[in-house]
Structure 1
Amino acid sequence: MPHRPDRPDWRSLADQQAGLLSRRQLNGLGLDRFVVRNQVDAGRWVELTPMVLATFTGPLPRVASMWLGVLHAGDSSVIGGLTAAEVLGLRHWQRDEVTVLVPDELDFDESVPGVRFVRTRRKIPAMRLQRPGIPVARIEPAVLLWAAYQPSRRTAQGVVAAVIQQRLSTADGMYLWVERMRPLRWARMFRTALEEISGGAQSLGEIDVRRMCRAVDILLPHRQRQRRDATGKTRWTDCEWDLPNGDVLVLEVDGSFHMDVDHWEDDLARQRRLSGPGRIVVRCTTRELRDDREQVGRDLIALGAPRRAPHRAI
């Protein structure tokens, strides 16, 4: 006897998939196209694509949009790119568009609003994370594939650093996937960034500071040192150097969000409250560290930043 829509089988599966079902799944449950059409005509279900139906009406929640992409593309697809990173917990890198990885040879209609299908010749099963729930790529290949095709090298390095900083992977884990994914665009750049992260840098800002210090031969600073400002509030400074005369040189690095007036005024107040006798507080932007690092370094040297001992030939 065929299953009817009021039987629990389809409901259980729909609950696992944010309320969405594919026609292939419905056929497997014994619900033929006539039963499905009746549900749609009655206004209880909605046909989202020729391949996928929602068992509810109204806007799609975020997770349902993800299920829409993988159900439409079929079993060989997985959530990829920054969408996979979002599913796995990466913060502050979310994009509205859902990314789904599909085999390059797959023949299907790619016109699904809000979903971007990325074709790849790489073996998707090898990248898939074995876990219940929505099919998703491991965070390392998902992020590396996305980063490798960004127009900005800084963005590419930044997301890799963010994954490690947020403890969703390790430098060694990311490095292993760089090697596994050969050939990979910008692989050399990723290796360099990962080596710097392994050396103690956890964020792109720290990498920029390290590169600046190497460029002008000054000692690496203390990072994220805890201080109390003039109001008694606990602060963590970006970079500090202990000077030979007992003073402390502080460098605060401003990201692009500091261009906002409110943030800018907050930072000025922060600088005043961190300043005091024996404490020199200066600022630069991430753009300066990226594009004009040697000048930033020379300015710090002029303020007393300690130099590294020159290497002696043996």
Structure 2
Amino acid sequence: MSGTTPSRWLRLAEAQDGMLHRLQLSRLGLGNHYVDAQLSARRWQEVSSVVLGTTTGPLTRRQLMWAGVLHAGAYSALGGLTALEQHGLERWHREEITVLVQKSHNLEPISGIRFVETRRPIPLLTSSLQLPTWRVEPTALLWAGYHPVTRSAYGLLAACVQQGLTTPYRLDGWITRMRPLRRAKPFRRFLGDLAAGTQSATERDVLTMCDSFAIPRPLRQTPRRDSAGRLRFTDAEWRLPGGQVVVLEVDGGFHMRVEHWSADIERERQLVATGVTVIRCTALELREHPERIARDLRALGVLGSSA
């Protein structure tokens, strides 16, 4: 055995919170004799017939998650509330860990882990997290769609939006991709209400900024033709005494997706081409640092009576 071999499994174990699959060790040139020696010396522990822990004592929660996906194989990932926990969802904790597996996948049980079969394409819906985990949107929609308590279903979608894990716009887009999905139509109506609530909150923040920093209140959702002749509605705009128009566009979380970002650039360019001055900010900046936006509006000539 090469002297560098142990360091190779050490690096792999470190990346997987101390958990290893027997097949991974075999690929590193470490057969059953090496594994049996570690188990006999009680340096390692056997979690299942194929998963080994390179630490002793009770497994941590994250180690148990790794044990579940390693045990289930390559086409598996954390799902349900466990996946959302990994993405940062709070106050929806469930002790049991959920691992999604391919349909007709026969597995021996592991205490504390629930293996859930699905026909959905698990690898295609997996996020970029190191520990294989389903993306927020398909996870939340699938859980909400098939949870028996309707109130909890809507509550989870609202929590994912309110805690900043996703937006109503992203969830709405994923409803189409998740067809067939139970409760799809009522979910779309609910997400529309959530989006309207988010827009209302942004409008309130604009008005609060204006009142706090002696900026005149703007015209809101003003219809305006762009250079291509399309009708646009601006978030907030001020018409200055000299005839100049200053527009403030507030970007929510959904604007960060590439397709929305590209559309926003085009929208801004076509408005600017009509002679309008457009400045942009995020909803977070508007809430956390409104003084910066007020400063820039003043620099452009948006002045209150007391300025």
Structure-2-length-normalised TM-score: 0.63
Q: Counterpart of 2:55?
A: 56
Task: Name which of 114, 118, 135 aligns with 2:116.
Answer: 118
Tell me the residue number matched to 1:32.
31
Change (3 A) 1:152 1:61: same
Aligned partner of 2:105: which letter?
L
Question: Is 1:186 equivalent to 2:183 in the alignment?
Answer: yes
1:75 matched to which residue of 2? 74
Q: Write the distance in 1 (CA, Å) between the matches of 2:169 and 2:112.
A: 34
1:243-254 map, 5 Å: none
One-letter amino acid of the structure 2 residue matched with residue 89 of structure 1: G
What are the superposed Cα offsets for residues 43-64 of structure 1, whole Å, 9 maximum, x if unpaired?
1100010010100111111111
Work out whether residues 3 and 30 of structure 1, in 8 Å CA contact, stay in contact via their aligned partners in 2: no
Encode CA deviations 1:265-296: one digit per residue, 9 max, x unaligned. Answer: xxxxxxxxxxxxxxxxxxxxxxxxxxxxxxxx
Deviation, structure 1 residue 2: 5.3
1:135 and 2:151 equivalent? no
2:45: which partner in 1? 46
Root-mean-square deviation (CA, aligned residues, Å) is 2.1
Deviation at 1:190, TM superposition (A): 1.1
* Equivalent-residue separation in structure 2 for 1:75 and 1:172 (angstroms): 31
Q: CA deviation at 1:106?
A: 2.4
> Helix, strand or coil for the counterpart of 1:200?
helix
Is the Cα–Cα contact under 8 Å of residues 79 and 100 in structure 1 kept in the other structure? yes
Distance 1:73 1:49 in 2: 11
Task: List alignment gaps of at least 5 residues for structure 2.
Answer: 209-307
Which whole-Å CA distance do the structure 1 matches of 2:115 and 2:166 have between them? 25
Contact 1:21 1:55 in 2 (8 A): yes
Partner of 1:150: 147
Contact 1:9 1:29 in 2 (8 A): yes
Deviation sequence 1:21-79 (CA, Å, 0-9, x none):
01111111111011101111111100010010100111111111110100000111011
Q: What secondary structure does 1:49 align onto?
A: coil
1:41 to 1:105, Cα distance in 2 relative to 1, 3 A: same
Q: 1:260 maps to which residue?
A: none
Q: For the residues of structure 1 that align with 2:198 and 2:170, how far apart are their CA atoms? A: 16
- Cα distance between partner residues in 1 of 2:127 and 2:4: 34
CA distance in 1, matches of 2:50, 2:186: 41
How many Å separate the matches in 2 of 1:129 and 1:93?
A: 20
Question: Residue deviations 1:184-216, cap 9 Å, x none?
Answer: 1111221111011011169xxx9xxxxxxxxxx
Q: Distance in 1 between matches of 2:18 and 2:197?
A: 45
Counterpart residue identity of residue 24, structure 1: L
SS at match of 2:100: strand
Q: Which amino acid aligns with 1:195?
A: G
| 1:3 CA displacement | 6.5
Distance in 2 between the 1:105 and 1:139 partners?
25
Q: Which of structure 1's runs of 4+ aligned residues deviate more than 6 A?
A: none
CA shift, 1:19, in A, is 0.6
TM-score by length of 1: 0.61
Structure 1 segments unaligned to the other structure (5+ residues): 207-221, 227-314
Partner SS, residue 147 of structure 1: helix
SS in structure 2 of the partner of residue 78 of structure 1: strand
CA distance in 2, matches of 1:127, 1:142: 9
Q: Relative to structure 1, is the Cα distance of residues 4 and 33 closer, same or farther in structure 2, using a 3 angstrom cutoff?
A: farther
How many residues were matched structurally? 203
Q: Does 1:108 align with 2:113?
A: no
